Structure 1
Amino acid sequence: MRLGVLSDIHANLPALEAALEALRAEGVDEVLVLGDLVGYGPHPRQVVRRLMEEGLPAIAGAWDLRVAYPVDRALPEGLGKATLEWTRAQLGEKELAYLRSLRLSHRRTYGNFRLVAFHGRPGRPEEGVDLLGPAREFLTLLERYGAKALLLGGRHLPLARRVGQGLVADPGSVGLSLSGEPGADALLLDTDTLETRFLKVPYDLGPLLFDLRAWGLPPALEKVYRTGRFQ
């Protein structure tokens, strides 16, 4: 089975549309979304509605939880905090209910292949995981969940790593890639062979930047979209 994996869309509709089109062109059998659908970008309502229409399996990221549950969650000053309340105000009850319906994990078995996916560290979606960290951590997680593949969103950096007989991978970010190259990230995973291939999908920045400016969102985001870097 050929699985397409997306993560960290961050309210960027042109990037999402480009990534979905690229995965369709690759002939994937299923698309999985690893959370952070909203936050930062100018299209939170459109992105949530698009995913609702597609009916894709998705899990909750830290930003989805911050927006869906307006409780006192510590958030440092910066681009994210500057867009939080604005993002929440753009969503109606239907979109908020969708975000609240998302689970913290996705577990699926394909024949003899079992996959488990999280946004960030299992049970702590706000905490990123360094995929280049000690192998024993990932071996423990693969064993705990009886999985061949562990997919972790949240770092905005596409990376895949074989650990023992298993695989650990982050698909990168659709809408706010930090790979040092502009464009939408996507991952192709063959569940029979554990082979992976990353896509970097170009998209038209014009409509995105127009909406960013029209809504008065932080102009520093424009540099991130253009360069694939926060600095």
Structure 2
Amino acid sequence: MIRIAIFSDVHGNLPALNAVLEDMEKRGIEQKFCLGDLVDFAPWGNEVIEKIRNLNIPCLMGNHDERIAFDIPVVPLSKHSPEETEARFIAIDHSKKYITEQNKTFLSELPFHIQLNYKVGNRHWRIQLVHAGLSSNDTYWYENESDHIFTGMLEESRSDIIVMGHTHLSFKKYFETKGWAVNCGSVGRSKEENRLASYLILTMEEDRILPEIIQIAYPVEETALAIEESGIPDYYASFLKNEKSSVL
């Protein structure tokens, strides 16, 4: 049996990342992989990048990482309210100013996706890691998408399981004869009702592969206070605290 952990979308939230890594350690999981989006929306972007670097955790390039690394202009998204649109511009500009050049170089060199191959007994398990999709790190695939979206990605990547992040909403879908499509959720900016930090444990045995979504609490108030004391809009503190009246 082999167990690995996969996480995504830290978004500068160091307390959430620390909580998730500590939980992995308690469970004895040594192999860890990150699907990207280390920066934006909380004030520890540099610290998060440096922790990933120091721990040698393989990491993909998320769309936010790419934007900060290459100074890509921010464009409004139709799904966002005017309040969120304004906050988003300010928060991303904050990252562009404060992420160090060394850390921007690190982000610029991250791979777009990774495929893993683990041999358990006589079985090879192929695990496709992406931030959002095979051809784009900024495509939103939700649980209610048509099955052919996910089975197509499994077939194209020739994998037994494809693991993604980006939407900040976790899910698991199994397709008979095709395999699994899994979203591991978000460590630092969950959009789920409980706002817990989310990650994936993948257990591989010779005859089966089992994905398990883990959700844990972290000191949200610590992150919210740090946001409020930084140049990042309070919108993101209210979001983490799930203060609905402030984030509609």
Q: TM-score, normalised by structure 1?
A: 0.94
- Asked whether the equivalents of residues 161 and 169 of structure 1 are also in contact (C-alpha less than 8 Å), the reply is yes
Q: Could you tell me which residue of structure 1 aligns to residue 64 of structure 2?
A: 63
Equivalent positions of 1:63-212 (< 5 A) are 63-76=64-77, 77-111=85-119, 112-165=124-177, 166-192=179-205, 193-212=208-227
The separation in 1 between residues aligned to 2:149 and 2:13, in whole angstroms, is: 33
Gaps of 5+ in 1: none
Give deviations 1:72-97, integer Å, cap 9, x for gaps.
35244243222111111111121011
Gaps of 5+ in 2: 78-84
- Assess, with a 3 A threshold, how the Cα gap between structure 1 residues 51 and 197 changes in structure 2: closer, same or farther: same
Aligned length: 231
- Assess, with a 3 A threshold, how the Cα gap between structure 1 residues 172 and 200 changes in structure 2: closer, same or farther: same
The separation in 2 between residues aligned to 1:145 and 1:42, in whole angstroms, is: 36
Deviation of 1:179 after TM superposition, in Å, equals 1.0
Deviation beyond 4 Å, 4+ runs, structure 1: none
The separation in 2 between residues aligned to 1:203 and 1:90, in whole angstroms, is: 25
CA RMSD of superposed structures (Å) = 1.6
Give deviations 1:110-165, integer Å, cap 9, x for gaps.
01000111111222111111232121222221111110010111010111110223
- Assess, with a 3 A threshold, how the Cα gap between structure 1 residues 71 and 227 changes in structure 2: closer, same or farther: closer
The 3-state SS of whatever aligns with 1:123 is: coil
Code of the aligned partner of 2:239: V
Code of the aligned partner of 2:192: S
Code of the aligned partner of 1:46: E
Q: TM-score, normalised by structure 2?
A: 0.88
Code of the aligned partner of 1:114: R
The separation in 1 between residues aligned to 2:141 and 2:88, in whole angstroms, is: 19
The 3-state SS of whatever aligns with 2:241 is: helix
Q: What fraction of aligned residue pairs are identical, expressed as a percent? A: 21
Give deviations 1:48-70, integer Å, cap 9, x for gaps.
11111111011011100111111
Q: Could you tell me which residue of structure 2 aligns to residue 214 of structure 1?
A: 229
The 3-state SS of whatever aligns with 1:197 is: strand
Code of the aligned partner of 1:215: S
Give deviations 1:168-194, integer Å, cap 9, x for gaps.
101100000011003211111112322
The 3-state SS of whatever aligns with 2:224 is: helix
The separation in 2 between residues aligned to 1:123 and 1:73, in whole angstroms, is: 20
The 3-state SS of whatever aligns with 2:4 is: strand
- Asked whether the equivalents of residues 228 and 237 of structure 2 are also in contact (C-alpha less than 8 Å), the reply is no
The 3-state SS of whatever aligns with 1:227 is: coil
Instruction: State whether structure 2 residue 14 is matched by structure 1 residue 13.
Output: yes
Equivalent positions of 1:16-31 (< 5 A) are 16-31=17-32
Q: Please identify the structure whose Cα radius of gyration is greater.
A: 2
- Assess, with a 3 A threshold, how the Cα gap between structure 1 residues 18 and 228 changes in structure 2: closer, same or farther: farther
Q: Could you tell me which residue of structure 1 aligns to residue 40 of structure 2?
A: 39
